[in-house]
């Protein structure tokens, strides 16, 4: 009798053929939404408020950043000034650090100087390996 031949057509297995498609779909979603952690920069620790210390002028090297990007180098104790391009600072600072390892690089920036000039100088100071850095503004 034909009625006995009827079988249930529904399979009881999970279809595995489409598994890869599902996985790839999700994969593409996560690939496109992923942002890798990319925090990059020049780290610096600011002094705590009211934590001002007296420094002997001979340990200071002022790097005065002008609005046009040129830098005036002045050693703490002398009045002598030297105008340099910022790319020369690394070399100058390396020499000074070799002579006096307690040297503090004081980056003094003009209020109207663009941020990038100050970062350029900070970059040079970091490259020279200076550990003691002070950030100031002209006219404070």
Q: Which residues bind another protein (CB under 8 A)?
A: 16, 19-20, 23-24, 26-27, 30-31, 33-49, 65, 109-120, 122-123, 126-127, 135, 137, 140
Q: How far is the CB of 135 from another protein (least distance, A)?
A: 7
Q: How far apart are CA 94 and CA 7, in angstroms?
A: 88
49 vs 79, which CB is nearer to another protein?
Answer: 49
Q: Whose structure tokens read 């050693």? A: 75
Sign of CA dihedral 116, 139, 77, 103: negative
CA of 103: how far to CAs of 32, 60, 92, 121, 139, in Å? 48, 6, 12, 16, 22
Q: How far is the CB of 131 from another protein (least distance, A)?
A: 13
Q: How far is the CB of 57 from another protein (least distance, A)?
A: 23
71 vs 118, which CB is nearer to another protein?
Answer: 118
């Amino acid at each position: 009798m034909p009625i006995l031949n009827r079988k249930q057509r529904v399979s009881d297995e999970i279809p595995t053929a489409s598994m890869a498609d599902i996985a790839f779909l999700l994969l593409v979603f996560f690939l496109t939404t992923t942002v890798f952690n990319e925090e990059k920069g020049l780290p610096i620790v600011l002094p705590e408020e009211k934590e001002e210390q007296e420094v002997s002028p001979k340990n200071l090297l002022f790097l005065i950043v002008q609005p046009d990007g040129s830098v005036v180098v002045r050693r703490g104790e002398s009045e002598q000034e030297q105008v340099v391009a910022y790319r020369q600072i690394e070399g100058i600072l390396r020499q000074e650090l070799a002579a006096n390892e307690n040297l503090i690089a004081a980056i003094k920036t003009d209020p109207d100087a663009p941020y990038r000039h100050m970062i350029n100088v900070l970059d040079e100071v970091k490259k020279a390996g200076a550990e003691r850095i002070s950030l100031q503004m002209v006219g404070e």
